[in-house]
């Protein structure tokens, strides 16, 4: 029994962490967060050079051939830094194509995604919160027409994996005729989203799309959970730091037991989730019997705790915490994304209860 | 990451499993009188010690099986024993607290005399730490010990003393150096409970039963050499922690079985004429709870892994008690809702640890979950520890004044 990250995974986390510290320090993050596109193309280039774009893509297609746990470790670090990047949609598109593409389809798309020259994303949500493969209604065909909402980094993408009726998946090149994108006024400005309208847009169905859609969902849930773990860890650290520097009544506020207990409770909402996100990611490759349930449990639990930690972090920062100027708000909105993307905690709790045959 | 135990350990598991299979329960010889459960348990334990499965950290000369520390083997033994409901180590406070302390800090004669009968259950102990005025601030304790000739003469009062009414001996903290500073004035003494200077009065708990007591010491006596460590070292001695095969997953297993018990209760109870488990709100609450239970479980895996490789799982080690306490509150809270009008009943005669799913068992659990939050460091003290030692926030000003932290 060795329930721990490997040295390689720790190294990935460290090198990704220091890359983000250098290239996305908080003042730069604020510029991007407040900027027009919510993106920094140079950062994506650096991430791609580090191999993040092709982390879980097979080495035959130019990727690093690693596992979902490695993706999750990267997601944790990106969440910790609130990093603006097309990572989430990109790696999910790659996971879907790898799991569901024919050999020919994989050869066609994966090498470009592995280098990061092509940017992928996923278009899943339909009206009334239909995120799940069982709920998609968009008609599957060589050309598709309809609407997908909340597509992350849609305008940065070159291709999108689209959820279709009967739980199928298709690939649409973003710049084809018949695809229009309109930015969603999303809260999380580190991960912008688009409303995508397809009007007879050319679409190529993935050979084993149905199976791939289930894996895509699970991995998406796991990556939200990992991002949330990293983000909540950062908010805890920011709040502790603030309590050690902010003075009132002649002492730092960290002297007061009320603050200590609030921060201890926040820590209790963060640290125990590390092992849960690890296992939920590990299960996707090694524990198929548990993969579905634990993905939903981890997503529901950890994103819910992230949201709570974010609320506590605002409070811990006092009046400042409620301002746009305070960095906490960026992670607060990251938490809103992680919580609602791919379905809310209560939806995933219902799913995990159903899967348990309770 | 690798969640298997490895082939060597799986072989070990097979060995333990077949040992339990063929030794538990102890079969009576046909035609002879049936062996009592207690007798079976002690026969089984003897065999398990011989195989090296129980009391692994205790030297053979004191009745243990003297094995190298191996948290994975210890975990496998726990799993295989509990799978067949076989008796594990006797879990009295003497075995859990005193024996490790004696092994680390005791005199040779003390180990000789006390360890073996304690682990076999012949000798039972109680712990004399808390006093009416010294709870979280334990080091402020006032019970006095004075050396008169060859004996310590002890006066004062201990409280919340579990099992004092049945114990043969007490290990206790007593102020023997009144001139010394707070922490440096305390000694760790052993004491015979069956003597005229000791008066044990039961305290009735809110559940209605009486597990703990007040202990009044009026010129209670104990020999001069029944001290563990030197005079004034009692505080340090009481904080002895051995590098043991810490039962890190044990707590998580308990919360998992509590969840399983709760799901069963929901399946067997009705709400509005339908099984409660079909109720959307109940399903949500059980699922919320499961998030915590899973987080607890995998935190236990992390601890086990770090213990096995001599690493440090970090701040999570300080959180496990508080975390499981809070899970316990959630479990019993949901149970009370499932009981509906039966939540009007008393806790009955249910004992702690009974796995009864009867209403009164759950009601007792609802109350006991508060006792667990208080015993061994209240939830708020746990929060202080997490904040100060874990997050590095300033120590409490009042605690700072006391020396010998």
Going from N- to C-terminal start, the domains of chain A cover 7-115, 120-209, 211-355
Q: Please judge whether A276 and B294 are an interchain contact, meaning their C-beta atoms are less than 8 angstroms apart.
A: yes
Best of A226, A272, A345 to disrupt the B interface by mutation (most B CBs within 10 Å)?
A272
Same domain, residue pair B42 and B118: no
Q: What is the pLDDT of residue B34?
A: 82
Q: Lowest mean pLDDT of A175-179, A230-234, B34-38, B293-297, name the range.
A: B34-38
Same domain, residue pair B229 and B322: no
Q: What is the pLDDT of residue B405?
A: 34
CATH 3.40.50.620 fits A120-209, yes or no: no
Same domain, residue pair B254 and B382: yes
pLDDT in tens, A125-169: 999 999 999 999 999 999 999 999 999 999 999 999 999 999 999
Point out the domain boundary residue: B189, B205, B238. B238
Which residues constitute the domain of residue B198?
A: 99-238
Q: Please judge whether B3 and A275 are an interchain contact, meaning their C-beta atoms are less than 8 angstroms apart.
A: no
pLDDT in tens, B17-39: 999 999 998 887 778 888 888 88
Confidence class of residue A1 from pLDDT cuts 50, 70 and 90? confident
pLDDT in tens, B78-131: 889 988 889 988 778 898 889 999 999 999 999 999 999 999 888 999 999 999
Q: What is the pLDDT of residue B245?
A: 52
Distance in angstroms (rounded) separating the CA atoms of residues A306 and A313: 10
Of A230, A246, A211, which Cα lies nearest the Cα of A316?
A246
pLDDT in tens, A250-265: 999 999 999 999 999 9
Q: Are strands A179-183 and A193-202 parallel, antiparallel or unpaired?
A: antiparallel
Of B165, B191, B160, which Cα lies nearest the Cα of B176?
B191
180-239 of A, contacting B, C-beta below 8 A: none
Is the Cβ of B329 closer than 8 Å to some Cβ of chain A? no
Q: What is the pLDDT of residue B114?
A: 96
Q: What is the pLDDT of residue B357?
A: 47
Same domain, residue pair B54 and B109: no
A to B CB pairs, distance under 8 Å: 158
Point out the domain boundary residue: B238, B264, B285. B238
Q: Which of B80, B89, B131, B245 is catalytic?
A: B245
Q: Let me know if residue B94 belongs to a domain.
A: no
Tell me the chain B residues in contact with residue A276 when contact means C-beta distances shorter than 8 Å.
291, 294-295, 298
Point out the domain boundary residue: B59, B89, B119. B89
CATH code of B227's domain? 2.40.110.10
Nearest to B393 among A263, A287, A349 (CB): A263
Is the Cβ of B396 closer than 8 Å to some Cβ of chain A? yes
> What Å distances lie between residue A318 and A236, B249, B347, CA to CA?
15, 39, 44
- At B51, list the tokens: 């195989």
- At A193, list the tokens: 């989203």
Is the Cβ of B5 closer than 8 Å to some Cβ of chain A? yes
Q: Please judge whether B326 and A268 are an interchain contact, meaning their C-beta atoms are less than 8 angstroms apart.
A: yes
- At B89, list the tokens: 């180590």
Burial A57-78 (b: 16+ CB within 10 A, else e): bbeebbbbebbbbbbbbbbbbb
Which stretches of chain B drop beneath a pLDDT of 50? 242-244, 247-248, 350, 352-357, 403-405
Of B324, B339, B325, B328, which Cα lies nearest the Cα of B265?
B339
Tell me the chain A residues in contact with residue B309 when contact means C-beta distances shorter than 8 Å.
2
Q: What is the pLDDT of residue A325?
A: 96
Is this prediction's ipTM beyond 0.90?
Answer: yes
Q: What is the pLDDT of residue A175?
A: 97
pLDDT in tens, A47-62: 999 999 999 999 999 9
Q: What is the pLDDT of residue B310?
A: 86
Nearest to A240 among B4, B283, B391 (CB): B391
Read off φ and ψ for residue B68, nearest 5 degrees: -65, 145
- At A93, list the tokens: 């598109």
DSSP A222-271: HHHHHHHHHHHHHHHHHHHHHHHH-EETTEEGGGSHHHHHHHHHHHHHHT
- Split into its structural domains, chain B has a count of 3
Q: How many whole angstroms from its chain centre is CA A104?
A: 28
* Mean pLDDT rounded to a whole number for chain A: 97
Length of chain B: 405
Of B84, B115, B85, which Cα lies nearest the Cα of B100?
B115
Residue B218, SS3 per DSSP: strand
Q: Please judge whether B3 and A282 are an interchain contact, meaning their C-beta atoms are less than 8 angstroms apart.
A: yes
Contacts of A252 (CB under 8 A, 6+ apart): A243, A244, A245, A246, B394
65-104 of B, contacting A, C-beta below 8 A: 72, 75
Contacts of B254 (CB under 8 A, 6+ apart): B324
Same domain, residue pair B38 and B162: no
DSSP B84-96: TT---S---HIII
- At A238, list the tokens: 């920011």
Nearest to A350 among B283, B309, B382 (CB): B283
Q: Let me know if residue B44 belongs to a domain.
A: yes
Q: What is the pLDDT of residue B354?
A: 46
Q: Let me know if residue B65 belongs to a domain.
A: yes
Tell me the chain B residues in contact with residue A4 when contact means C-beta distances shorter than 8 Å.
1, 302, 305-306
Burial B349-374 (b: 16+ CB within 10 A, else e): ebeeeeeeeebbbbbbbbbbbbebbe
Q: Let me know if residue B2 belongs to a domain.
A: no
Q: Please judge whether A297 and B291 are an interchain contact, meaning their C-beta atoms are less than 8 angstroms apart.
A: yes
Residue A28 bridge partners (DSSP): none
> Domain A211-355, what fold?
Butyryl-CoA Dehydrogenase, subunit A; domain 3 (1.20.140)
Q: Please judge whether B3 and A287 are an interchain contact, meaning their C-beta atoms are less than 8 angstroms apart.
A: yes
pLDDT in tens, A269-321: 999 999 999 999 999 999 999 999 999 999 999 999 999 999 999 999 999 99
B245 catalytically annotated: yes
């Amino acid at each position: 029994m060795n329930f721990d990250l490997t040295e390689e995974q720790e190294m990935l986390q460290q090198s990704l962490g220091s890359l983000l510290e250098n290239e996305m320090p908080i003042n730069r993050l604020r510029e991007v967060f407040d900027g027009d596109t919510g993106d920094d193309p140079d950062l994506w280039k650096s991430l791609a050079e580090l191999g993040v774009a092709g982390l879980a893509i097979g080495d035959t297609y130019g990727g690093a051939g690693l596992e979902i746990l490695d993706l999750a470790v990267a997601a944790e670090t990106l969440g910790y830094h609130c990093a603006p990047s097309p990572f989430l949609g990109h790696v999910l598109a790659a996971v879907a194509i790898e799991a569901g593409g024919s050999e020919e389809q994989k050869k066609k798309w994966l090498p470009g995604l592995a280098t990061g020259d092509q940017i992928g994303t996923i278009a899943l949500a339909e009206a009334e919160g239909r995120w799940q493969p069982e709920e998609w209604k968009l008609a599957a065909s060589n050309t598709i027409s309809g609407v997908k909402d909340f597509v992350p980094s849609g305008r940065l993408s070159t291709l999108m994996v689209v959820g279709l009726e009967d739980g199928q998946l298709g690939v649409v090149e973003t710049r084809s005729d018949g695809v229009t994108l309109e930015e969603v006024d999303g809260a999380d400005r580190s991960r912008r989203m688009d409303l995508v309208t397809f009007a007879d847009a050319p679409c190529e169905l993935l050979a084993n799309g149905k199976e791939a859609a289930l894996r895509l969902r699970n991995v998406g849930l796991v990556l939200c959970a990992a991002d949330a773990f990293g983000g909540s860890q950062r908010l805890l650290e920011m709040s502790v730091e603030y309590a050690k520097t902010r003075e009132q009544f002649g002492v730092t506020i960290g002297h007061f037991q009320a603050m200590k207990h609030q921060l201890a409770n926040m820590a209790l909402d963060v640290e125990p989730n590390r092992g849960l996100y690890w296992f939920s990611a590990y299960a996707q490759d090694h524990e198929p019997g548990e993969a579905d349930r634990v993905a939903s449990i981890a997503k529901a639990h950890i994103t819910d705790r992230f949201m709570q930690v974010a609320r506590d972090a605002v409070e811990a920062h006092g009046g400042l915490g409620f301002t746009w100027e305070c960095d906490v708000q960026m992670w607060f909105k990251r938490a809103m994304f992680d919580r609602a993307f791919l379905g809310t905690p209560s939806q995933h709790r219902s799913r995990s209860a159903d899967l348990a045959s309770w | 990451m690798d969640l298997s135990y490895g082939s060597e350990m799986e072989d070990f598991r097979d060995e333990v499993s077949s040992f339990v299979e063929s030794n538990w329960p102890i079969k009576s010889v046909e035609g002879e009188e049936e062996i009592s459960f207690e007798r079976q348990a002690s026969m089984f334990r003897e065999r398990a010690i011989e195989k090296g499965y129980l009391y692994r950290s205790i030297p053979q000369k004191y009745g243990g099986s003297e094995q190298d520390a191996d948290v994975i083997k210890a975990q496998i033994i726990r799993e295989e024993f509990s799978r067949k409901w076989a008796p594990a180590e006797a879990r009295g406070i003497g075995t859990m607290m005193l024996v490790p302390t004696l092994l680390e800090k005791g005199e040779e004669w003390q180990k000789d005399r006390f360890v073996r009968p304690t682990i076999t259950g012949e000798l039972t102990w109680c712990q004399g730490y808390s006093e009416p005025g010294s709870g979280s601030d334990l080091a402020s304790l006032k019970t006095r010990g004075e050396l008169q000739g060859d004996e310590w003469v002890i006066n004062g009062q201990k409280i919340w003393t579990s099992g004092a009414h049945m114990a043969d001996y007490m290990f206790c903290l007593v102020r023997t150096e009144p001139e010394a500073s707070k922490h440096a004035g305390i000694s760790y003494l052993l004491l015979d409970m069956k003597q005229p200077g000791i008066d044990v009065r039961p305290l009735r708990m809110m559940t209605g039963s009486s597990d703990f007591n007040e202990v009044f010491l009026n010129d209670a006596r104990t020999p001069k050499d029944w001290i563990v460590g030197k005079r004034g070292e009692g505080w340090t001695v009481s904080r002895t922690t051995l590098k043991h095969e810490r039962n890190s997953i044990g707590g998580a297993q308990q919360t998992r079985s509590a969840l399983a018990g709760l799901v069963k209760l929901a399946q067997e109870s009705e709400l509005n004429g339908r099984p409660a488990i079909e109720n959307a709100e109940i399903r949500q609450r059980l699922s919320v709870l499961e998030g915590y239970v899973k987080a607890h479980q995998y935190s236990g895996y992390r601890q086990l892994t770090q213990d096995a490789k001599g690493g440090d799982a970090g701040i999570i080690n300080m959180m496990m008690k508080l975390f499981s306490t809070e899970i316990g509150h959630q479990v019993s809270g949901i149970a009370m809702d499932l009981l509906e009008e039966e939540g009007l009943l008393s806790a009955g005669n249910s004992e702690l640890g009974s796995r009864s799913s009867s209403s009164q068992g759950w009601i007792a659990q609802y109350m006991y979950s508060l006792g667990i939050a208080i015993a061994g460091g209240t939830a708020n003290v746990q929060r202080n520890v997490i904040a100060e030692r874990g997050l590095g926030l300033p120590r409490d000003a009042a605690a700072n004044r006391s020396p010998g932290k």
